[in-house]
A and B are shown apart, each in its own frame.
Chain A
Amino acid sequence: MNFGNLIKIALKALGSNRMRTFLTMLGIIIGVGSVITMLAIGTGSKQSIRSEIGSMGTNVIMVMPGNGHFGGVRQSASSMQTLKLSDYRSLANETSYLSHITPVVDASGQAIFGAENTPTTLYGVNGEYLDIHGYALSEGTVFTDEDIKKSAKVCLIGATVAKNLFGKEDPLGKVIRFSKIPFKIIGVLESKGSNTMGMDQDDLLLAPYTTVQKRILAITYLNAIHASAISEDYSTQAINEITKILQINHGIEIGEENDFNVRSMQEMLKTMSSVMDLLTILLGCVAGISLIVGGIGIMNIMYVSVTERTKEIGLRMAIGAKGKYIMIQFLIEAIFISVLGGIIGVIIGILAAKIIELLGTPTSVSAFSIVLSFLVCVFTGIFFGWYPARKAARLNPIDAIRYE
């Protein structure tokens, strides 16, 4: 038997029942289309969250003071005063996986200019803070080491604060007050927008950490140390290195609880990613179910088709078709329906994803999802076509040919 002949026979049979073929295919088209679209939405959201977190700096590492005991009483992390300037200095000097590092102290309060005022947070940092968190200046300059040494009363202003205090006026060179201390604005930050958690990243003031420590908070410890690894790939090494140095600095023995926490954006990214993965799997499952329903549709129609064409099958057997030819014919019909339906489904899925993207939800059609749903289609065809095909092949030609 020529396989090409069997394909011709199968296609002819499908062609003579176009409406039914199309309706059967519709189940698969919808199934595959929704798998592609759902996975595209899942992947797209994941990628957009990744890139948003990435814009916050995926290689950012934050050192926070950790829990600790003080006289037998467990203290809250923020009240701990375990991070010192000496820690910052030793990290800055001794680490080999960090590109930038800054001490961080922060103070909340009202910023006042003339008749306007606005609540904001003043971060005491060094100039590298901008590199670590990806801020850029739209005008002016960053404060210098000299400013830090002198605890100069200068600051950089975030876009939101600038808008609230100055409106359309140029803030550069103006003097604002924060906790009664006057700060001269020497630079204006470019707007970064909100981060993934919806926090306004432009609602801040940056000043030399020495100024904030001495003139505003009157403390000697640090609230945090922010750093960035040379690249994302070195995050883990950098974290290990920082942990080791701080353990030595703080005299923490092996097995003892650290009085600090080192966290990276990488970890946050992982957490977010796993949530998104779960969402994608969930969407994929829902779509997968519709694909299975489509497959059952094929099976149903193939069963009906076998019964309806019993006489035809009997005739084919009488004129010399072996059982396996009949089986292959019906299998080809089932596979053809599912594969063609799959191809149309892929096209519709991609179009749907594009439309959804135009409506504002990020989508990303992956080659993986196309290959996967295509393979599922072929498998669906074989799996759901098998039983009806076998039923057809096992018909007794004598009974089949006289079937009415």
Chain B
Amino acid sequence: MGEIIKINDLHRDFIVGDETVRALRGISFTINPGEFVTVMGSSGSGKSTLLNILGCLDVATSGDYFLDGVDVKSIDKDGRATLRNRKIGFIFQSYNLLPKTTALENVELPLFYNRSVSNAERRERSRKALIEVGLEDRMNHYSNQLSGGQQQRVAIARALVNDPVILLADEATGNLDTRTSYEILVLFQKLHDDGKTIIFVTHNPEISKFSTRTITLRDGHIIGDIMNPEIKSAKKVLDSLPVDDTQ
């Protein structure tokens, strides 16, 4: 299997008033299947812009982007929507679950936009995804009845349900307390062990210790791209945390 993501000399310019803001100034890297990559950088470093482009929500001003062998540059808006639906799983900082909707229905959502998935299959796959994130007993709870950690698990299940080639997480633990953050990281590591390719965008250096590779951005350039020699286990850290009574 070839590389999942291949970008080459990627530029992204925004025109704000009379000025041109150059958010990305020539970025190149390749991500292979099974990698767990954290993209680090302070705010304004271009990591959100990069994530948008990787997620096919935005297109680069210049440079090449191949997602799972598809040249994204050559695809129109609707084509990119389909690409997002089939190949990408998004996980957001603020979960973005639909209100007044059950966990199961939230997870089903991406499959609603996939004609080839039947009603029965959609339900079955959504159940499996929820089981995978450990929410088998919360399927019919409404999103406002779930804790932050549980909501993020639903969001992860939603990202998994279409069996994407890559999971894109944007500060996925940013809204969670320490313990819940580690729980989510445990889940990410488990998914990674199961063979999922993950890109985790964060400004928190702590998180990069749990990934296999760290790409650091500053001012639109890559200033660091290292393979982590020693990957910490989120589960061990979680076990070492003092037990919280409220959990």
Give the number of residue pairs across the A-B interface with Cβ within 8 Å: 65
Task: With A12-B101, A398-B52 as known contacts, state yes or no: A321 contacts B113, CB within 8 Å.
Answer: yes
* Cα–Cα distance between A323 and B81 once the two chains are bound (Å): 8
CB atoms of B98 and A320 under 8 A apart: no
Using C-beta atoms within 8 Å of the partner chain, give the interface range for chain A: 20 to 34
* Cα–Cα distance between A322 and B158 once the two chains are bound (Å): 18
> Which residues of B sit under 8 angstroms from A311, Cβ to Cβ?
96
Would you give the shortest CB distance from A189 to chain B, in whole angstroms?
A: 74
> Which residues of A sit under 8 angstroms from B100, Cβ to Cβ?
16
CB atoms of A320 and B85 under 8 A apart: yes
Question: Which of B82, B101, B112 touches A8 (beta carbons < 8 Å)?
Answer: B112
Q: Which chain A residue shows the least CB distance to B93?
A: A402
CB atoms of B158 and A320 under 8 A apart: no
Asked if B19 lies at the interface with its beta carbon under 8 angstroms from chain A, I say no
Q: Give residues 1-47 of A contacting B (CB, 8 Å).
A: 1-2, 5, 8-9, 12, 16
CB atoms of B81 and A322 under 8 A apart: yes
Asked if A312 lies at the interface with its beta carbon under 8 angstroms from chain B, I say yes
Task: With A1-B115, A9-B112 as known contacts, state yes or no: A397 contacts B57, CB within 8 Å.
Answer: yes
CB atoms of A16 and B77 under 8 A apart: no
> Which residues of A sit under 8 angstroms from B90, Cβ to Cβ?
318-319
Q: Give residues 19-37 of B contacting A (CB, 8 Å).
A: none
Would you give the shortest CB distance from B81 to chain A, in whole angstroms?
A: 4
Task: With A1-B113, A1-B115, A2-B115 as known contacts, state yes or no: A401 contacts B92, CB within 8 Å.
Answer: yes
Contact string against B for A residues 302-326, beta-carbon threshold 8 Å, 1 for contact and 0 otherwise: 0000000001101111111111110
Contact string against A for B residues 128-154, beta-carbon threshold 8 Å, 1 for contact and 0 otherwise: 000000000000000000000000000
> Which residues of A sit under 8 angstroms from B220, Cβ to Cβ?
none
Contact string against A for B residues 91-115, beta-carbon threshold 8 Å, 1 for contact and 0 otherwise: 0100010111100010001101111
* Cα–Cα distance between A316 and B96 once the two chains are bound (Å): 10
Asked if B86 lies at the interface with its beta carbon under 8 angstroms from chain A, I say yes
Question: Which of B55, B85, B98 touches A312 (beta carbons < 8 Å)?
Answer: B98
Would you give the shortest CB distance from B108 to chain A, in whole angstroms?
A: 10
> Which residues of B sit under 8 angstroms from A320, Cβ to Cβ?
81-82, 84-86, 110, 113-114, 162
> Which residues of A sit under 8 angstroms from B58, Cβ to Cβ?
398
> Which residues of B sit under 8 angstroms from A319, Cβ to Cβ?
84-85, 90, 109-110, 113, 158, 162
Would you give the shortest CB distance from A383 to chain B, in whole angstroms?
A: 25
> Which residues of A sit under 8 angstroms from B110, Cβ to Cβ?
319-320
Would you give the shortest CB distance from A256 to chain B, in whole angstroms?
A: 79
Asked if B78 lies at the interface with its beta carbon under 8 angstroms from chain A, I say yes
* Cα–Cα distance between A230 and B76 once the two chains are bound (Å): 75
Q: Which chain A residue shows the least CB distance to B85?
A: A320
Would you give the shortest CB distance from A2 to chain B, in whole angstroms?
A: 5
Would you give the shortest CB distance from B29 to chain A, in whole angstroms?
A: 21
Write the residues of chain B forming the contact surface with A, with a CB cutoff of 8 angstroms. Answer: 52, 55, 57-58, 77-78, 81-82, 84-86, 90, 92, 96, 98-101, 105, 109-110, 112-115, 158, 162
Cβ-closest 4 pairs across A and B:
A320-B85, A16-B100, A322-B81, A319-B110
> Mind listing 6 A-B residue pairs with CB under 8 Å?
A5-B113, A12-B101, A316-B113, A320-B82, A320-B110, A325-B113
Given A319-B158, A320-B113, 8 additional A-B pairs, CB 8 A = A1-B115, A16-B100, A316-B113, A318-B90, A319-B162, A320-B82, A320-B110, A322-B81
